[in-house]
Amino acid sequence: MRFHGKLTRAWVIGPADEIPSRMLPVIRVLSSVPSFDLPMLRLARWMQERYVAPLATILGSLGPPRVASEEADVTPEQHGSPPRRPSELEPSDVATVFAGYRGGRDLLRAIGRSNGSFLLRPVPEQEQELAVGAVAACLASGRSAIVLVPEATPTPATATAIAEAFGTNVCLFLGGDKRTRYRGWLDIRAGRYDVVVGTRPAVFAPLQDVGLVFVSRESHAAHHEDRAPYHHVRDVALRRSELAGAVCVLAALCPTAEAAALGLPVVAPIRRAWPPVEVVRPGPEGRAPRLVQALRTARRAFVYAPIPGYGVAQVCRACGSLAACAACGGSLRVEEGRVRCIVCEADGVCAACGARSFGIRRGGAERVEEWVGRVADVPVTRPSRPRLPRTAGEVVVGDAGSVRDLGQGSLDLVAVLDADAAARRPGLAARERAVAVWMEAIGWARPAGRAIVQSSQPADPAVQALVRGNPDRFLERERQQREAAGFPVGAGTFRVTGRDGIEQAIAAHDPITTLRTGHDDRTVCLAVLAPERIAAFGRDMRRLAGEGVVERVEAEPHL
């Protein structure tokens, strides 16, 4: 359509009660395939209010980019309800999967009735089995299921397990080029699948009669969308389940503080199912004596080393000045044999004399690989792609990017180095994300291995969460600290950019916390609002955007 003199893509969202006297015609119909149905429009309108985003932006994110040539074989008959294909798993098998879980029967009954939301804390080696069981229970009730995973590569073990269990009933909506994704989206809409497994966009999968939305590894940072409308898959999954009369399951060893604060029924193992965790004081470069001793006998092990590189430059060997980047003044790190700035990645040059030789304080994943290689009796490696140690015997050194959904580990040893670094990282949820990664890594030591955590503060709630295998006390402590900082769990946080006057407009909505700064000739405000005030706040921001006062609103920015 022509809008303000420009050709603009638009969506037909329904009939109008009144037609304006001056109505411009539709210039061209781009696609006869509907982008969404009425339930998805309701979800989009909820997102518009919750994340203070333009409805058009949200509607544009409900499906992948269109590839016109893929619509050639789409017929109107394919838009009906999909035929139901029964699950090959017997009900008794599904019940057995959840038999060892407190609240497991309640979850299965809820899936049968298609009502309720749950927080699932799986035994580490049963994550995939539980997801398959929940999907099987949903299919047995005659409804379809969506399983959301945080990453596409390598293919998560949960996705692989579901594909193996249900075969051609499953669409793996995981990456691919534009044509592949749009073809998959059309096939989902045509009713060719009962189960969709995918990353963030899969929460909008055009499945009919959804009975289950299962969020795997709910605490993973990739479940948060960094582009408009800045949604979190957890919140959208809960809302879609509510609108569809479905069950939502948030599964994680360590859930987010937001998920824990929802007060959902918890499904957890009846008996303790966690490897023994020993806390030791850090040694030089991570070489605690107990860890060195354990590495000598371990056949398969994972060493979590969060700091990259070989070490950090301390002083210039030519002039004795403190090492700093000549371009921006940042710290210099030695990585892959090269000295570079941590901030701007410029080559390391002394800011005082221009020399390139520095005294190095050793410490980092490369250095860990080096000294572990001298200790262990099996090969030691830092693989470029996440994977578990080889069954023949291997020690893998990795960081947070190495901790993925790789399936049952059955490792002899998992070591977490420099756990104290999490307390020094900036960000409201930095410690929470660190604990979630640590717990997933330590879960690889199940069922017969053990874990060693290096920390100078063994009584820290984050460390004790690893020892107990239960993050409840840690999450409660995080909730208290965030509330004291003015960012309570469950409140809406928005970054608003605009001109003078936005601070007063935000103050009218009685924010819990307001922070203001300037950038060029713009004003940037960070506002924390109680949930019941977000709707009015959004309406006001949209009005001010029309007046040219507000330029951008970001929901739930990373802090």
Query: Which domains does the chain carry?
Result: 79-269 (3.40.50.300), 277-308+364-482 (3.40.50.300), 310-362 (no CATH), 492-555 (3.30.70.260)
Which pLDDT score is estimated for 157? 97
pLDDT digits (tens, 9 = 90+) for 372-384: 999 999 999 999 9
Which pLDDT score is estimated for 80? 43
Q: Are 209 and 149 in contact (CB under 8 A)?
A: no
Q: Are 514 and 525 in contact (CB under 8 A)?
A: yes
Q: What is the mean pLDDT of residues 23-38?
A: 88
Distances (CA, A) of 192 to 105, 184, 185, 188, 233: 30, 10, 10, 6, 24
Q: Poorest-confidence range of 194-198, 249-253, 282-286, 495-499?
A: 282-286
**What distance in Å separates the CA atoms of residue 103 and residue 251, rounded to the nearest whole number?**
14
pLDDT over 90 at 162, yes or no: yes
pLDDT over 80 at 117, yes or no: yes
Q: What is the mean pLDDT of residues 2-7?
A: 86
pLDDT digits (tens, 9 = 90+) for 292-332: 999 999 999 999 999 899 999 999 999 999 999 988 888 89
Q: What percent of the chain has pLDDT over 90?
A: 74
**What distance in Å separates the CA atoms of residue 219 and residue 253, rounded to the nearest whole number?**
8
pLDDT digits (tens, 9 = 90+) for 127-138: 999 999 999 999
pLDDT over 50 at 36, yes or no: yes
**What distance in Å separates the CA atoms of residue 527 and residue 496, rounded to the nearest whole number?**
8
